[in-house]
Amino acid sequence: MFQSFLKQHDAAAWQRTVEALLPGIHDVDRRATQIWFHFFPLELADAINEAADLVQLALTLRLEGNFRLSEQVDSSHWFLYGHRFWPQVKSAIVARAESKAAPSSLELAPVIRDIAKGIHADDSLVIGICAVGVMTLQQVGLQAFRAASGAVQPPQGTLARTPAQIVAARNKNDSQGIVGMFRGIRAQYTVTFDERRRDARFTAINQQHLTTASANDKRDYSSELRGTVEGPIPAQCRTASCGTCWVGILGGNEHLSPVEAHEKKRMKEFGYILSDDPRPVIRLACQALASGNVTLVIPPWNGFIGKRKGSRETSAAQQQQ
């Protein structure tokens, strides 16, 4: 019954749900929750579930990396503070899915809040991860969802701190000091790309593109996510043509240059985000200039799903006419 209830909610319904839930989510996970929903859009899951040939689908949509949420049930949300509550959240969602009781509401948001109330933690810290869990269930199905172990690694690095400390770390900006000011030294800032690791950071010079700053990190990242060659942020073109350098901005979005027309157009074509926000949670790193500290998270895949999302939106609009 619960899965049938979920199938009644499309991407637009989920967008409304997330927007309704955001005010009740703690600052530590408000942007992280939004980022996760862009990293794992329902349209991509539908394409995977409908594909007769997954290899051909990957070629058609030019998918690279690990784009299957079914293989990341327990790990896709590692960058949420609420990830630490995943074992309890997953158990609560499975229990709700297996229950024969009708959902308490026809809307998703009240149901998700109800699940969060059953977790022994502040609601504001678990609403986000509960929303992520319910969407994961909808995308992968109960069998795959239940089969995942539910185990998580203890939080490490910055993510091991309190919510307030994590928010403060994301809001911190490097001081250039009086010496730097008088010597005219060009300001330098810290970009953190994995809050679990203390060494997961590189330096960005003031008004430098994130991908350029990343490429100046000469450590070996060839075995990292999507086999990056120059620095930790995957990048193939640096002209917004390839779509490999998209990132989620957890902190310091005010320190990035506003989105210009070219970046906005390309992000829509890639299908990563469609927003009028001048500094949205998703950016193309090759187009974003840094003027302060930034904390970001790198998605596990890239591709071109914009046309599929656009066709779904057009079809939905036609059905409403």
pLDDT of residue 321: 35
- The residues facing 189 across adjacent strands are 204
- Give yes or no: residues 62 and 184 share one domain: no
Q: Residue 320: what pLDDT? A: 39
pLDDT digits (tens, 9 = 90+) for 44-92: 999 999 999 999 999 999 999 999 999 999 999 999 999 999 999 999 9
Residues 139 and 178 in one domain: no
pLDDT at site 313 = 43
Evaluate if residue 317 carries a pLDDT over 50.
no
Does residue 205 carry a pLDDT above 90?
A: yes
Burial class (CB in 10 A: 0-12, 13-18, 19+), 223: exposed
Predicted pLDDT at 310 = 64
Residue predicted with more confidence, 319 or 244:
244
Give the end-to-end CA distance of the chain in Å, rounded to a whole number: 29
Least Cα distance to 152 among 91, 198, 194 occurs for 91
Percent of the chain with pLDDT over 90: 85
Q: Name the domain count of the chain.
A: 2
pLDDT at 272: 97
Contact assessment for residue 62 and residue 130, using Cβ atoms and an 8 Å cutoff: no
In a domain, 224, yes or no: yes
Taking residue 218's Cβ as centre, other Cβ atoms within 10 Å add up to: 9
Helix (H) or strand (E) holding 168: helix 163-171
Assigned token pair, 280: 């949205």
pLDDT (tens digit per residue) in 264-315: 999 999 999 999 999 999 999 999 999 999 999 999 999 999 987 765 443 4
- The whole-number average pLDDT for the span 7-30 is 97
Tell me if 92 sits within 8 A of 114, measured CB to CB: no
Contact indicator for 187, 180 with CB cutoff of 8 Å: yes
Residues 41 and 174 in one domain: no
Residues 47 and 141 in one domain: yes
181 lies in a domain? yes
pLDDT tens string 218-273:
999 988 877 677 899 999 898 999 999 999 999 999 999 999 999 999 999 999 99
**Per-residue pLDDT, 274:** 94
Q: Print the domain residue range for 14.
A: 2-150
For 227-272, the DSSP string reads: G-SSSSS--S-SSSSS-TTEEEEEE-GGGBPPP-HHHHHHHHHHTS
Reduced to 3 states (helix: H, G, I; strand: E, B; else coil), residue 188 is: strand
Query: Do 119 and 230 belong together in one domain?
Result: no
CA atoms of 63 and 196, how far apart (whole Å): 26
Domain containing 298 — which CATH number? 3.10.20.30
Give helix 11-21 / helix 27-39 axis angle, nearest 10°: 170
Token look-up 């899965």 returns 3
Per-residue pLDDT tens digits for 145-195: 999 999 999 999 999 999 999 999 999 999 876 655 555 568 999 999 999
Residue 126 has pLDDT above 60, yes or no: yes
Q: Tell whether 113 and 190 lie within a shared domain.
A: no
Same domain? 251 vs 174: yes
For residues 115 and 190, state if they share a domain.
Answer: no
Q: Which helix (H) or strand (E) holds 302?
A: strand 301-302
Q: Within this chain, do residues 92 and 219 fall inside the same structural domain, yes or no?
A: no
What average pLDDT does the structure give for the chain? 92
**Whether 41 and 68 share a structural domain:** yes
Q: Are 22 and 101 found together in one domain?
A: yes
Q: Would you say residue 284 lies in a domain?
A: yes
Q: Give a yes or no: residue 160 inside a domain.
A: no
Q: What is the greatest pairwise CA distance in the chain?
A: 70
pLDDT at 178: 61
One-character DSSP codes across 67-105: --GGG-TTTTTTTSGGGGGHHHHHHHHHHHHH--SPPS-
Q: Is the pLDDT of residue 112 over 50?
A: yes
> In the prediction, which pLDDT does 47 show?
95
Residue 279 corresponds to which tokens in the numbers above?
């500094």
Residue 243 CA neighbour count, 13 Å, CB half: 22
Judged against a pLDDT cut of 90, whether residue 316 lies above it is answered with no
